[in-house]
Every structure is written in C-alpha cells, then in structure tokens.
Amino acid sequence: MHMKRTVLSLALTAATIISAAAQPSLQQRIDNIIRNSQALKGAGVSVLVKTAGGATVAAVNADQRMVPASNLKLITTGTALATLGPDYRFKTAIGYTGTIENGVLNGDLYIIGGGDPTIAGDDIASLPMEVTFRSWSTLLKKAGIESINGKIVGDSRAWEGYLEYGDWTYEDIGTYYGTGAGALCFYKNAIDLQVAAGEAEGTPVQAVQAYPETPWMNNYNRGITGKEGSGNSLYLYTTDLAPYAELRGTFALDRAPKTEHFANKFGALTCACYFQKYLSSIGMEASGGPADIDREGRIRTADFVPGDKAGEPVIIGTGESMRLADIARQTNVESDNFYAEAIFRTMGEETSGYAVYDSARVAEKSALKRLGLNPDDVTIADGSGLSRSNAVSARFINAFLQAMTSSPAFPAFLASIPAPGEGTLVPVLKNNSSKDRFRLKSGSMGGVLCYSGYLLDDNGTPVATLSILVNGATAKTAQVRKALEAILEELLLYL
C-alpha cells in the first residue's frame, strides 16, 4: 500500500512538472500577442519588462530607438522633480517704473513673468485667476498704489527664444497642444472657439471666439463645411510675429457644435489685458491700457505700434504657483504639452539662466548623468514629445524608471503618474479589476502608441518597470490599444 502511494505521488509530481513546463513564459506570451495581432502588422514594436531588482523578464527589440510621443513626459517631469525639487514654485514678479505720488503711479506697472504656466489655468494645478490677481493687487496696495497713470505691461523678457520648438508641424503650432510656453502666459496660451457647421456643404464654418478676448487679433475664417461623415480638420494658422490668424480646414455637416481649443501667441498681452480688467473692477484704473514688450525690447500696446524701450522696473513683490509636484501630476495625468514645455525650459533657465531649448537639453542631460544614465543613448528635442525628432528606446525608458526609484524625488514622481482609468488612461483596461496596480504614462500621435511606467504590489511598491513602444501603426488607435492591453494583462498574471 505504501509503495502504491509513493508511485502515485511521483506520478503527480511528474505531471505537475510537465504541466509547468508546458506553460509558455511571459516572453513567449508577449511574442505571440505581437505576432498574432493584425493591428501591429508591419509596425515597429519595442518592449522591455524588468523586475524591480533589474532582471529582464521580457524583451522585444528593446534597444530600438523609437518616437516616444508623450512617454517623453516621464523623463521631463522626473528630471525636473529631481533637479528643482517637488516643492519648487514658479514666481511672477510685480514691479513699476516711474514714481508713486499720493496713491498714483505715474509710470507703468509690470507683470514680470517667471515661466509660470498655470496663470489663469482651468485645472487643479492652477490657482483661480481671481486668487492670483487678488494677490497681485494686494502688492500694489501695500506699495501705496491706488491708480495707475500709465500702462499695464506684460513682461515676458525673462525667457529668450521662441514659443515653439523649431520642427513642430505648422498645423500643430496653431493648436492648444502646440502653442508653446513663454515667461508670461495666460490660460495656457490658448483660445476657445465655438465652432459649428454652416447651413450646407461648402458654406463657411461658424466660428465665434469664446475666451479669452484678444481684440488686437485679426482673425479670418476660411473654414468650410464638409460633407457628412468627413470629420473635423479645422486648424488655426497663427504666429507671434504678427496679430493675424486664419482658421482653415473643414467641419462636417453632420457634426455637432463644439468648443475647439487653439493657440494664442500673445499670452503676455492677454495677461496684462485681463489684469487691467480686474483692477478696474476693484476701482484701480490704469489709463494707458494693456501692453507687452516686443523682441526689440519696446513697449507695444494693443494697436501693435511699438513705443519706448521698456524700463527696468522696481520690484514690489512676487506671486507663486502651486508646487511643481502638483503641476507634474497634471502634466502626466492629462498629458499636458504646455506644462511639459514650460517645465523643460525652466530647467534650462534655472541651471544656466537661459530658457532656450538648447539650454533645456543641456540641463536634462546633466540630470540624466546624475541619475547614472548616458544621455548619448537618446535624442531629446523637446519636453512634451510633440517633436518626431525624439528617439528613445524601451531600454532607456526602463533604465530611467529604475534610476528614479533611488531619487529623493521618487515619491512625488510616482504620484504624478496616473493609473488606468485616469486622464488619458480612461479607456485602458476598463474591465480589469487589477488595473490599479499600474502607474503608466501614455503616448500617442499619428501611428504611435506607447505605455511606460511601473507595476506595483499590493503595498504600492514597484515590482517591475515596463516600456511598450509602437511606431508606424496603420490600424486605428483603439485596435492598437487592444493589443497593448493584452500585453499589460499578461504582466498582471505573471508578476
């Protein structure tokens, strides 16, 4: 009887070993998903998954440099948090030229931008406009200013260079996601247009500017109502070189009216305009109206006629943004290009005194070196990932994610990365009860879909880092996402 039990036990053990051996590894499962997915046919796919200890559990073309799209924001926010600190705050100074006599400023009031991208923003990382303006007006009252016999000047001189990175597409720079950040901004340098189809195919699109007001702009509506089913291809073509903009493209006859978000290239002037309105509402008048400063350093009023050279104002105080940790969270959850570019250029400003893209890249490379990474392994063009010149491998992103776990800024960095169901990850893993174990940054643009981040244990500690990059896909985004979700679900089963 004992002999029979021993033989049965050996048989069961052998069966268990055979069964385990028959189970495909995570690598095999991922390979099968990629090989069998019609959505990934002909696309470039790069995958790397490592345990928290650094062991590779799955790799596919891990060294292939790819366009990361908004996955680049992980590097931008991570290096900024490590360099500037989670508690860093953007500062906006208030100053004046001239003299103050009997409560009257005989001169100009200056709003001196320090790169704060959140002024008059509409999200949880921004203070309400009224709160910001109230704090500025309090500074005026403390300085003894009750009225202004002069202009309100939006001063964006602190940041050199242009708003946009040079290789962003012409279409993109007219959209809200390609507006570009300056030293003084307002409402993320965006404008909202209410658009609707015309009465018939071929008639002009209806377009009304809703917010903010930019009365100095010469706006031309060249949008055409397209045939039913043709979609929406409206773009605003604009520039900061002159106050002109043109709406182009088509809007299908059967599409419902909507709010479109485009670029406002005159954020400093808009900020000055709205602060003047606020001051007027509390009884503090400014006789000279709003103005900004052109590239030649001349004060320019809303008629765009340049005047005298701007002065060097006496500073009476500063206002502050919310913490960088809060702004980084909004950047990653909503994949906010505007915030990412502001953060990127701020690293250049804070480390070298220049906010141009070259200095920002130098600052980021230095941060990567401090994390133990080789910046020569990547090509980084901008902060948001909007440029298709960015080239990053799954291996580099994975190494960056692992290096960040040793940074004092890691808790803030991890907290900035969304879980499926948040922000841009709303459609990801909708029906998976374990999806909250992921902290992922999405990245998408034409033909590109990427997910990179961490897999956590039940205590919120990373057990793995992962990067999945797809370039050159021709299938619909939803179909590509379904294939990548299959890979993510395998990770949940395996790790």
| pLDDT tens per residue across span 253-293 | 999 999 999 999 999 999 999 999 999 999 999 999 999 99
What pTM was estimated for this model as a whole? 0.94
Question: For residue 481, what is the enclosing H or E element?
Answer: helix 477-494
pLDDT single digits (tens) 398-424: 999 999 999 999 999 999 999 999 999
Q: Kindly tell me if the per-residue pLDDT of 360 is higher than 90.
A: yes
Q: Kindly tell me if the per-residue pLDDT of 6 is higher than 90.
A: no
Q: Kindly tell me if the per-residue pLDDT of 21 is higher than 90.
A: no
| Residue 233 phi, psi (nearest 5) | -125, 35
Q: Kindly tell me if the per-residue pLDDT of 14 is higher than 80.
A: no
**Distant-in-sequence, close-in-space partners of 125: CB < 8 Å, separation ≥ 6:** 118, 322, 326, 327, 329, 330, 339
pLDDT band at 1 (very low <50, low <70, confident <90, very high): very low
Instruction: Work out the mean pLDDT of the chain and round it to a whole number.
Output: 95
Confidence at residue 22, expressed as pLDDT on a 0 to 100 scale: 57
Confidence at residue 24, expressed as pLDDT on a 0 to 100 scale: 86
Q: Kindly tell me if the per-residue pLDDT of 77 is higher than 50.
A: yes
What is the set of domains in the chain, with CATH numbers?
Answer: 26-86+324-494 (3.40.710.10), 187-263 (no CATH)
| Cβ atoms of residues 115 and 320 within 8 Å | no
Confidence at residue 7, expressed as pLDDT on a 0 to 100 scale: 44
pLDDT single digits (tens) 471-491: 999 999 999 999 999 999 999
Q: Kindly tell me if the per-residue pLDDT of 325 is higher than 70.
A: yes
Dist. CA 433–CA 6, nearest whole Å: 42
Can the peptide bond before residue 257 be classed as cis, meaning omega within 30 degrees of 0? no
Confidence at residue 16, expressed as pLDDT on a 0 to 100 scale: 42
| Residue 466 phi, psi (nearest 5) | -150, 150
